[in-house]
Amino acid sequence: MSSSKVDYAKVDSSYLEHRQLKRGAAGWVLLAGLGVAYVISGDFSGWNLGLAQGGWGGLLIAFVLMGIMYTCMVFGLAELSSTLPTAGAGYGFARRALGPLGGFATGMAVLIEYAVAPAAIATFIGGYIEALGLFGMTNSWPVYLVTYVVFIGIHIRGVGEALKLMFAITAVAVVALIITAAGLLPRFDAANLFDIVPNGAAGASAFLPMGVGGAVAALVYGIWFFLAVEGVPLAAEETANPKKDLPRGIIVAMLVLLVSGALMLVLVPGAAGAGAMSTSDNPLPEALRIAYGGNTLVADIVNYAGLAGLVASFFSIVYAYSRQLFALSRAGYLPRWMSLTTRWHTPYVALLVPGTIGFILAALTRDGALLINIAVFGATVSYVLLNLSHIVLRKKEPELPRGYRTPGGIVTTSVALVLALVAVAATFVVDIFAASITALIFAAALAYFWFYSRHHLVASAPEEEFAQLARAEAEIK
């Protein structure tokens, strides 16, 4: 991927003045909160659909394998983000390691993930609101519209305000998870985990009711417990001390997500039954209602607070997609007008364009499972390239100053790389049509780069400056 040659367009001296983010808006605590916020909706809804694919045993295997993959990858990203702290994050890392084509491919895969994940979350927000009977809703598209308009509007107003609000919403969601765990623990019965009848597939059993193939399909939903935590480095240019704060923030976030995900995976189906939870749009409050034989105050509290968890992830992933699109556009990989910023230094076009696409997808499909598979396809492709970037940079530039070094070095990210490749294949097992269409869109984006945008890059963009500096140093040697 590093062999593609690029040409740089001429831009005037004011180009970057209209494309500036707000510096120093976040420390490591806010970054850890951002990492948890990206993902916490995965604890409230979406993961349970994996029970329908592989049963509880299949989803348990998926959780363990994907937990290992993410943990190994997060250690690699902690090193990369401390080494190359730019808003491009994954695209910037891959740009340095794999060249412009590898960088663009990574950035587009991340963009697919982050543009579609909020659409999936919006459908779950609609499901939680319908479960509460709020506003007499029977059709959720107005909920999707209001969700996008309100939270994109807050992001346009300012990043500091947005991150602090996100942190507060996430704190409410974490409290809801604790309440859920405390409420379900007394009603836990291990037999409930295995109440799905085996379907006769190869290797089917009470533990794996859909057999080995079901466990592979469940990988997509195991990913949903952690999807988007890799977005923490996207805040690099808005961080007070990126070399120290980014590694600390993303690692702390990952540890929190491992604990919260494990609790929900065991207690929710363990109290309410894997079969009942396999199709639920609002599994946590529904589990409490089933466990206690009807509606309770605790179930209602979790239902309302569950909305906070979904909103936190929606809110924070909107932040992530805007920064990824901003960085790709600022460097000329995508149309440069998409990186324009407001007087509050927020990328308003990069917020609005994917938001519009996401709303249309949510309103047209109203299918959270479908949207999860599309988002996971983009995510897993990016994971392959991100882990490969860590390995290549360790080999190619061993003396590059690093603020943090990955425990286990390239062995750690090699484990993540292998698991990411398996996860890419799993998206085709779950829904070959959705994965294939997404792959075609990804291929079309690569064609756009090859035939057009690689001839119109911006040399003064930070990620391109990093690459040019590396090339100059290599020529001197």
Single-letter residue type at 254: M
Predicted local confidence at residue 75, as pLDDT: 96
Region 402-430: what's the mean pLDDT? 94
Cα 471 from Cα 80, distance rounded (Å): 18
The more confidently predicted of residues 240 and 196 is 196
Total domains in the fold of the chain: 1
Instruction: Quickly state the pLDDT bin for 18 (edges 50, 70, 90).
Output: low
Retrieve residue 91's tokens.
Answer: 């695209």
Residues 6+ apart with CB under 8 A from 408: 72, 75
Predicted local confidence at residue 400, as pLDDT: 86
Predicted local confidence at residue 317, as pLDDT: 86
Has residue 10 been placed in a domain?
no
Lowest mean pLDDT among 179-193, 208-222, 331-345, 348-362: 331-345
- Distances in Å between the alpha carbon of 124 and those of 121, 154, 326, 368? 5, 21, 27, 7
Predicted local confidence at residue 126, as pLDDT: 85
Lowest mean pLDDT among 170-184, 329-343, 419-433: 329-343
Region 160-186: what's the mean pLDDT? 86
Predicted local confidence at residue 385, as pLDDT: 96
Predicted local confidence at residue 170, as pLDDT: 87
Write b or e for each residue in 296-330: b if 16 or more Cβ atoms lie within 10 A of its Cβ, otherwise e: eebbebbbbbbbbbbbbbbbbbbbbbbbbbbbbbb
Contact 469, 83 (CB under 8 A): no
Has residue 129 been placed in a domain?
yes
Region 117-143: what's the mean pLDDT? 79
Most confident of 240-244, 342-346, 353-357, 431-435: 353-357
Q: Is the per-residue pLDDT at 350 higher than 60?
A: yes
pLDDT digits (tens, 9 = 90+) for 432-457: 988 999 999 999 999 999 999 999 88
pLDDT digits (tens, 9 = 90+) for 50-75: 999 999 999 999 999 999 999 999 99
SS (HEC) of the chain: CCCCCCCEECCCCCCHHHCCCCCCCECHHHHHHHHHHHHCHHHHCCHHHHHHHHHHHHHHHHHHHHHHHHHHHHHHHHHHHHHCCCCCCHHHHHHHHHHHHHHHHHHHHHHHHHHHHHHHHHHHHHHHHHHHCHHHCCCCHHHHHHHHHHHHHHHHHCHHHHHHHHHHHHHHHHHHHHHHHHHHHHHCCHHHHHCCCCCCCCCCCCCCCCHHHHHHHHHHHHHCCCCCHHHHHHHHHHECCHHHHHHHHHHHHHHHHHHHHHHHHHHHHHHHCHHHHCCCCCHHHHHHHHHCCCCCHHHHHHHHHHHHHHHHHHHHHHHHHHHHHHHHHHCCCCCHHHHCCCCCCCCHHHHHHHHHHHHHHHHHHCCHHHHHHHHHHHHHHHHHHHHHHHHHHHHHCCCCCCCCCCCCCHHHHHHHHHHHHHHHHHHHHHCHHHHHHHHHHHHHHHHHHHHCHHHCEECCCHHHHHHHHHHHHHHHC
Cα 84 from Cα 226, distance rounded (Å): 23
Retrieve residue 149's tokens.
Answer: 């308009």
Q: Whose CA is closest to 406, among 382, 389, 423? A: 389
Predicted local confidence at residue 22, as pLDDT: 55
- Residue 320 is part of a domain; what is its CATH number? 1.20.1740.10
Has residue 31 been placed in a domain?
no
Predicted local confidence at residue 394, as pLDDT: 94
pLDDT digits (tens, 9 = 90+) for 153-163: 888 876 666 66
Q: Whose CA is closest to 322, among 350, 355, 341? A: 350
Predicted local confidence at residue 13, as pLDDT: 63
Predicted local confidence at residue 468, as pLDDT: 57
This model's pTM is above 0.75: yes
Has residue 150 been placed in a domain?
yes
Strand partners, 458: 9
* Average of per-residue pLDDT values in the chain: 87
Q: Is the per-residue pLDDT at 344 higher than 70?
A: yes
pLDDT digits (tens, 9 = 90+) for 266-317: 999 999 999 999 999 889 999 999 999 988 899 989 988 888 888 888 888 8
Has residue 324 been placed in a domain?
yes
Instruction: Quickly state the pLDDT bin for 233 (edges 50, 70, 90).
Output: confident
Retrieve residue 369's tokens.
Answer: 């499972």
Q: Would you give the distance in Å from CA 235 to the centre of its chain?
A: 14
In the chain, what percentage of residues exceed pLDDT 70?
89
Region 215-226: what's the mean pLDDT? 93
Cα 118 from Cα 207, distance rounded (Å): 32
Has residue 261 been placed in a domain?
yes
Region 12-31: what's the mean pLDDT? 63
Predicted local confidence at residue 346, as pLDDT: 83
Has residue 49 been placed in a domain?
yes
Cα 15 from Cα 156, distance rounded (Å): 20
Q: Is the per-residue pLDDT at 477 higher than 60?
A: no
Region 332-347: what's the mean pLDDT? 86
Contact 61, 262 (CB under 8 A): no
Q: Would you give the distance in Å from CA 453 to the centre of its chain?
A: 26
Q: Is the per-residue pLDDT at 470 higher than 80?
A: no
Predicted local confidence at residue 463, as pLDDT: 65
For the chain, the straight-line distance linking the first and the last C-alpha, in angstroms and rounded, comes to 23
Domain holding 66, by residue range, is 37-467
Has residue 32 been placed in a domain?
no
Q: Is the per-residue pLDDT at 430 higher than 70?
A: yes
Q: Is the per-residue pLDDT at 235 higher than 80?
A: no
pLDDT digits (tens, 9 = 90+) for 69-128: 999 999 999 999 888 887 667 888 898 899 999 999 999 999 999 999 999 989 888 887
Contact 385, 106 (CB under 8 A): yes
Region 229-248: what's the mean pLDDT? 82
